[in-house]
Amino acid sequence: MKTREKILYASLALFNEEGEPNVTTVDIAAEIDISPGNLYYHFKGKGVIIIALYEQFEAELVDILNAPLVQLSVEDRWIYLYVVFERIYAFRFFYRNQTDILHRVPELLPRFKRLLNRKFRNVVALLTQLREAGVLQIGDDELGIVSENMVLLLTQWLTHVQCRADDLSESIILHRGVFQLFSLIVPYLASEHLGLYDDVKRIYHDNVS
Amino acid sequence: MKTREKILYASLALFNEEGEPNVTTVDIAAEIDISPGNLYYHFKGKGVIIIALYEQFEAELVDILNAPLVQLSVEDRWIYLYVVFERIYAFRFFYRNQTDILHRVPELLPRFKRLLNRKFRNVVALLTQLREAGVLQIGDDELGIVSENMVLLLTQWLTHVQCRADDLSESIILHRGVFQLFSLIVPYLASEHLGLYDDVKRIYHDNVS
């Protein structure tokens, strides 16, 4: 692994574990056993490291969000949402100190807004497809409101869950997140698709027990 | 106002405006024109100030959460939720850097967990009352899941909305939060209470337009 990648890899691990505000560039250099000067040669400060990590996260997430979603089975949709949460989890330091980071690295704010907007449009497109396929019965206004709640849940679930329960494994945290997400559309299932809710409950219980 | 109260008042304003990690005790002392030594006489560091502010917030919120909610009109419930959001807004620095603050001031973590738990129990009690009054049709499992989503929305709405739209006034941010909260129970309204949704939409549009 090149030094640049080593730095990014170690930064991500330290940020996630100890919280980004508590990690200095000196800590990062010490972790991979290089001099602070060598680190500075690659990254002129922590802000630049945060931007590089954010770019990596954004690229991965946009790839996932671009995946075609029509005609997926319930299981496949479950896995898809799980993967979205997993990528957020991999870069959780960013979400957990979102306000503070966006304040200190203001270049990220417009990008992060665009990413949230993209998530919102993706969710709206997905629910619209499900409505056209007759799976959901939902009006336009409600579709927008439910989509906003889904984006909020996607974005804030990890921060929320850490204060709600102790010692949950990563897998349980993520499966519970997916379950909460599905629960937001369950009340809009068309009556001939109510069986979907039983499928969702089954997948959830298979994965957390 | 006594010096101690002046310090807390100025700290809250600065934390909310500039983000708690960006404000030092020296900044706070300068703001109210006292020496850092005088500030230190009252509070031995920023952690102690944060705990004092948290205690103030907690006491206010618990008072509100203890209010009897049965037999309220839709308008009164709307105002009640608005007031809850308003108190959170008044102490928003805490929510916006929640993870980081809980890491640096670990004494707060168990208290904050208890507060979230209390919010959750309050929401469950409220939905149970509405179910018993025949307003909601909702099973036990769903009641728990919806309550969790409501607590998450209450807790994370302010952090979320700042990345979603620019330059919203405080009042619009809070009314939108209340509307999103109501939207979570709308699909469970018993058919003879569907008119409640129209009331909610009317109150929302009266307040944001």
For chain B, list the domains and their CATH numbers. Answer: 1-44 (1.10.10.60), 54-208 (1.10.357.10)
ipTM score of the complex? 0.87
Give contacts of A149 with chain B, Cβ < 8 Å: 149, 153, 180, 183-184
Give contacts of B159 with chain A, Cβ < 8 Å: 98-99, 156, 159
- With cut-offs at 50, 70 and 90, classify the pLDDT of residue A28: very high
Taking alpha carbons only, the member of A200, A152, A196, A193 closest to residue A175 is A200
Taking alpha carbons only, the member of A21, A44, A150 closest to residue A98 is A21
Q: How many Å lie between the alpha carbon of B81 and the closest alpha carbon of chain A?
A: 17
B99, B127, B149, B157: best mutation site toward chain A, by most A Cβ within 10 Å?
B99
- Integer Cα distance of B13 and A78 in angstroms: 43
For chain A, say whether B97 makes contact (Cβ under 8 Å).
Answer: yes
Residue A69 has pLDDT above 70, yes or no: no
Task: State the residue for tokens 């507060």.
Answer: B115
Reading chain B (209 residues) residue by residue, the pLDDT tens digits are 899 999 999 999 999 988 888 899 999 999 999 999 999 999 999 999 999 999 999 999 888 888 776 677 888 888 888 999 999 999 999 988 888 888 889 999 999 999 999 999 989 998 998 899 898 999 998 999 999 999 999 999 988 888 888 888 999 999 999 999 999 998 899 988 888 888 888 988 888 87
Contacts of B153 (CB under 8 A, 6+ apart): A149, A152, B177, B180, B181, B184
- Integer Cα distance of B12 and B6 in angstroms: 10
| Cβ contact B63:B27 at 8 Å | no
Q: What is the pLDDT of residues A139-158, one digit of tens each?
A: 998 999 999 999 999 999 98
Q: What is the end-to-end Cα distance of chain A in Å, rounded?
A: 38
